[in-house]
Amino acid sequence: MGNFIQDVIPVIPYADIRAGHDFLVEVLGFTSAGVIEDGNGVVIHAEVRANDRRLWLHAVAGGLSTPAGSGVATGGIVVFVPDVDAHFARAKEMGATIVREPEDEDYGQREYGLRDPEGHDWYIATPFAQSD
């Protein structure tokens, strides 16, 4: 069977899409790919990117909720960066909610955890160098 999948785009709900967008850009280091407003100035969609990877930010509606709104977290997102310790220092300096300080993990990466203002967990990691 051939490869029928062309792309996968995670959709992340936010009650305040603009604030979620700004956090992802300013604190985590994603690149903004735009914020779309309706005719009344209400943000209805935003997109951030990491190289060719896209994340869509969606309104809390139609059964979508945030961990802060629902009271439960059902997953998290791993983001690879070149220097996890430098990223950690910057995020901490910017006031991010740190849930776990950087640690070397048995599964081959150094990572730390933070929580965005709406309760989504993000795991920032740098894989260990592979030796041949």
In sign, the C-alpha dihedral spanning 64, 34, 118, 125 is positive
Over 70: is that where the pLDDT of 127 sits? yes
Q: Rounded mean pLDDT of 101-129?
A: 96
- Predicted pLDDT at 111: 98
CATH number of 1-60: 3.10.180.10
- Predicted pLDDT at 18: 97
* Domain residue extents for the chain: 1-60, 75-132
Nearest to 59 by CA among 19, 115, 93: 19
Domain 75-132 CATH (choose: 3.20.20.80, 3.40.50.1100, 3.30.390.50, 3.30.720.110) = 3.30.720.110
Over 60: is that where the pLDDT of 124 sits? yes
- Predicted pLDDT at 130: 65
Chain mean position to CA 38: 24
Q: What would the pLDDT profile of 41-76 be if each residue is shown by its tens digit?
A: 999 999 999 999 999 999 998 889 999 999 998 889
Q: Are 49 and 7 in contact (CB under 8 A)?
A: no
